[in-house]
Amino acid sequence: MEAPPLAVDLAVGEAELHPAPSTLLASGEDGDYPPVRSFNDAKAIWFIESAKLWAIAGPIAFNILCNYGTNSFTNIFVGHIGDLELSAVAISLSVLANFSFGFLLGMGSALETLCGQAFGAGQLELLGVYMQRSWIILFAACFFILPLYIYATPILRLLGQRDDIARLAGDFSIQVIPQMFSLSINFPTQKFLQAQSKVWIMAWIGFVVLLVHLWLLYLFISVLGWGTVGAAAAYNVSAWLVALAQVGYIVGWCKEGWKGPSWLALRDLWPFVKLSVASAFMICLEIWYFMSIIVLTGHLDDPVIAVGSLSICMNINGWEGMLFIGINAAISVRVSNELGARHPRAAKCCVFVTVAQALLIGIISMAMIIATRNHFAFFFTDSKEMQKAVAHLAYLLAITMLLNSVQPVISGVAVGGGWQALVAYINLFCYYIVGLPFGFFLGYRTKLGVEGIWIGMICGTLLQTLILLFITWKTNWNEEVAQASERLKQWSGQEQDEI
């Protein structure tokens, strides 16, 4: 292979020659990066990958933060109605809504593997077919989740929630059923756009809908006085606005990947269902893990304060989590695109650059939480007792935010590479065999309460993060390219004759 093109660094007035960042990518074989042999090579790749990553992650993260804002601001408005209303709505959004969110997001994430690798391989005609299949599968899945919403009150009572909290949370859950169905349209359209890096439109849609949501919350709760019913109405309207706006953009402006409704979307549904369920299993085990801490906390003494304070901490953690879901989606797109294009070194480099930057963000987030531990609860509640309880949990929140900076990145790598089944088993072991039992023991047997539950779950997250980092470090990216090529042959081979 020829040596990389060299450029003279005139900025420092030295005669030293080094690869120019703008030409480094093109100097590899078939568009892949050349081997890194010097600090200048590593620095050039760092800047190239950072630009590519944040060009995708920035708009995605902004969009997801805006979408999450509908949850967070709903909690904020309801929290100023009363502590009981805050706890009930937090239970509904943190447990039941997160259950459906995790399951449907996981099923939709199958498109990150398939659409990302198909786009990298230049098979754009498959993207619209995959998205329509995912619409069908996710919409059907909503009917299997529906009983959880309808029977939320007895389910929450069975899980040990106090009767008044369970009853109000159950009423709110029934009222937000339309929002759940919107996710069956929302998630596949998101993955369709993300695979092609058409992410700015998602950011604009999310921002506009967040402003609309704030106005609806103010109108329904503060002006009309509808209480939690008004919060549910605003939640439903905002969710469907996001879903329909994304579909409108795809139909009107995505002519390469969208060829209109196709009967091919009804073909080979079962293999697609299996891949979707594998993706759902992996992601659900992560999302439900932190959902379960709210359930366990409901069994403690004074559950209104315990659940309320923990829900505020989880809400803050969720803001950082939404940022990292954006980075998760971006690294998934980068890895799947590079594997589909047969670029193993580029796939490897983007992983290491993203992990390093995510860790830096996690450290900054941890420092901010510790610095503001006595103040941030003010935005969620007027109760001094609740604010004091939140400040007491702030150090555990800070540690959680640090750990949750790296873990979503590795999960995104898993989705991009098609490792969902392996990561699902790791999550099952670390979270549900180690983390939850240990948290239950510390919370109930040592009288540490909510702190003990949280400490145990942090231990599970730490173990999972270390295992995934080790697996990523040992990954043979040439083998991953071969597996991606085989996967594309299998899936396109089923459909190529009909397309």
CB 289 within 8 A of CB 317: no
* Structural domain includes residue 31: no
Beta-carbon contacts of 443 under 8 Å, excluding residues fewer than 6 positions away, are 296, 300, 449, 450, 451, 452, 453, 456
Q: How many CA atoms lie within 13 A of 432 on its CB side?
A: 14
Region of residue 301 (phi > 0: left; psi between -120 and 50: alpha; otherwise: beta):
beta
Q: What confidence score (pLDDT) does residue 153 get? A: 92
**pLDDT attached to residue 297:** 66
Q: What is the 3-state secondary structure (H, E, C) of 294-325?
A: HHHHCCCCCHHHHHHHHHHHHHHHHHHHHHHH
Per-residue model confidence as pLDDT tens for the chain (499 residues): 334 433 333 333 333 333 344 444 444 556 778 888 888 888 888 999 899 889 888 898 888 778 778 888 888 888 888 888 888 888 888 778 877 888 898 888 777 777 877 787 777 777 888 899 889 999 999 999 999 999 999 988 887 778 888 999 999 999 999 999 999 999 999 989 988 888 899 999 999 999 999 999 999 998 999 999 999 999 999 999 999 999 999 998 887 789 888 887 787 777 778 778 877 877 777 777 766 766 666 556 666 777 778 778 887 887 787 778 788 888 888 888 888 888 888 888 999 899 999 999 999 999 999 998 888 888 887 788 888 888 888 888 899 889 888 888 888 887 777 777 788 888 889 988 999 899 888 887 887 877 888 898 899 989 988 998 888 888 888 888 888 777 666 655 444 444 3
Within a domain: 259: yes
Residue 419 domain flag? yes
Residue 315 CB neighbours (<10 A): 22
The pLDDT tens digits of the residues spanning 40-60 come to: 888 888 999 899 889 888 898
Domain count, the chain: 1
Residue 40 falls inside a structural domain: no
Residue whose tokens read 């060829």: 259
Position 252 in a domain: yes
Element spanning 19, H or E: strand 17-19
Give the helix/strand (H/E) hosting 8: strand 6-8
**Residue 405 covered by a domain:** yes
* Diameter over CA atoms, the chain: 77
Tell me, yes or no, whether 11 lies in a domain: no
Alpha-carbon distance values, 464 to 218, 328, 380, 427, 431 (Å): 41, 16, 31, 7, 8
- CA pair distance 407, 467, nearest whole angstrom: 10
Q: Are 395 and 458 in contact (CB under 8 A)?
A: no
Distance between CA 196 and CA 115 in Å, rounded? 8
Q: What is the domain range of residue 452?
A: 64-495
Fill in the DSSP letter of residue 4: P
In a domain, 140, yes or no: yes
pTM score: 0.73
